[in-house]
Amino acid sequence: MVRKIIVLLFLSILVQAQEPKPNIYETNCLVCHKQLSFDLGTIFFEYLLKYSDEVSVKSALVDFLKNPNSDTSVMTKVYIKSFGLKQKSELSKKELQKAIDDYWEKYTVFGKLR
């Protein structure tokens, strides 16, 4: 009987360990952006056009998400007037950086083209 319980416990732990856990980007960014008419892929390419490289894009994203204002936004004035600005991020610096890293990996084409 004890063996069966141990085996079942081990199997349940194994199954839970294999379930993919949502990342910070998915739970904190995608949830809201799925409701908006401007998707995160489009915003990514706007940042890339304006800031050119990974370091500059990530830095600009951190600055904007910590202190959103229309002067640093890549969104058009019409969009901002219609939908407003994003609220200041409540994520810690480490969480925000991880979310931005995941965002970069999802949409970047550098190193993925052949």
* Rounded mean pLDDT, 59-82: 91
The share of the chain scoring above pLDDT 70, in percent, equals 77
Let me know: does 96 contact 27? Beta carbons within 8 Å.
Answer: no
Say if residue 109's pLDDT is above 80.
no
Is 1's pLDDT higher than 80? no
The pLDDT score that the predictor gives to residue 83 is: 83
Asked if residue 18 has pLDDT above 60, the reply is no
Class of residue 37 by CB neighbours under 10 A (exposed 0-12, middle 13-18, buried 19+)? exposed
The pLDDT confidence band at residue 13, using thresholds 50, 70 and 90, is low
CA 46, CA 48: separation in Å to the nearest integer?
Answer: 5
Judged against a pLDDT cut of 90, whether residue 60 lies above it is answered with: yes
The residue ranges of every structural domain in the chain are 22-107
Contact 91, 66 (CB under 8 A): no
Q: What is the pTM of this model?
A: 0.73
Provide the 10 A C-beta neighbour count for residue 19: 6
